[in-house]
Amino acid sequence: MDEVLEVKPLVGAAKAAHEKKQVKSKKPGKKPYPFSETGASDNAPIRTIRLVKPECPVDPTPEIRQRDGSYKVNPRYTGEENCQFKYRLNMQGVWDVEQCESLGHDPWHTEFRRRLVDDVIDPETGEVTTQKTKIMVERRLNVVAVSLSERHTSGTELQLAKARGCLTFDEFGERFPDEWYETPCEFRQCSRKVTMTTRYGDFCGERHARLCAGEQKGILRFVPNEADPHRGGQAALGMEYEGRMESINLGAKEKK
């Protein structure tokens, strides 16, 4: 008589491990930073972090004043009360973002409207017979840069922004995986991709890392003045500054 082998079903941790191997994660990868910023200057080495800021999209203004003094209907006006006033918790900008979302509003994006005018030309005469107006709507993520410098609000700007409902890109991506963006370089006005992690922040390269590290350590930035008639010692001062910057231990690690 042949033996019949009994296969016992997996239970507990063994079952969970088996399902984890069988089912692949559907979590999408991070998207590149959606904006391109310019103006990063070595003379303003301030560390900043980008956050997603909630702003109620309801506009309480029924009309918009034009440059010529006339008024037009505000397309964003719905007659509703702005949630940042209706559900505010204090006078410092803290409000109930969840109440805004429960009403079907999207506080994380702003819609920008543009008018595109196309001329309709008569093929025989070449004259403009009429015009067609098209409304283009662009939906952008509400991103703000928050300073992490002790010289700005005694270094409490991040705590204040978080209290007002702002989220980091990772926190926002956990709630909305389809819009999980990479956090850019933390040097002010730099939007390049992060390549290194240091004890002073995440940066696109060593130069921005050292500039922000020097600012945090209180090393004054030396700016040459070519108009100064007594600029004989400026070269030595510049070399001294660069030497102090090079001596900073960044504790850098390659960003994976």
Q: Is residue 125 part of a domain?
A: yes
Mind listing the pLDDT tens digit for each residue in 108-148?
A: 999 888 888 888 888 888 888 888 888 888 899 999 999 99
In a domain, 128, yes or no: yes
Let me know if residue 131 belongs to a domain: yes
Is residue 129 domain-resident?
A: yes
Task: Give percent of the chain with pLDDT exceeding 90.
Answer: 43
Residue 204 has a pLDDT of 93
Residue 127 lies in a domain: yes
Question: What is residue 26's predicted lDDT score, i.e. its pLDDT?
Answer: 46
**pLDDT over 70 (residue 229):** no
Domain ranges, residue 118: 112-138
For residue range 19-66, what is the model confidence (pLDDT) as tens digits? 544 444 445 688 999 998 888 888 888 999 999 999 999 988 889 898
CA angle 90, 96, 98 (to 5 degrees): 175
Domain assignment present for 209: no
Number of domains, the chain: 1
Q: How far is CA 121 from CA 116, 134, 143, 243, in A?
A: 16, 17, 42, 66
Instruction: Give the per-residue pLDDT at 27.
Output: 52
In a domain, 188, yes or no: no
- The token pair at 134 is 């098209």
Residue 16 within any structural domain of the chain: no
Cα-based distances in Å from 85 to 56, 80, 109, 134: 9, 11, 18, 33
pLDDT value of residue 170: 94
Tokens representing 9 are 């079903």
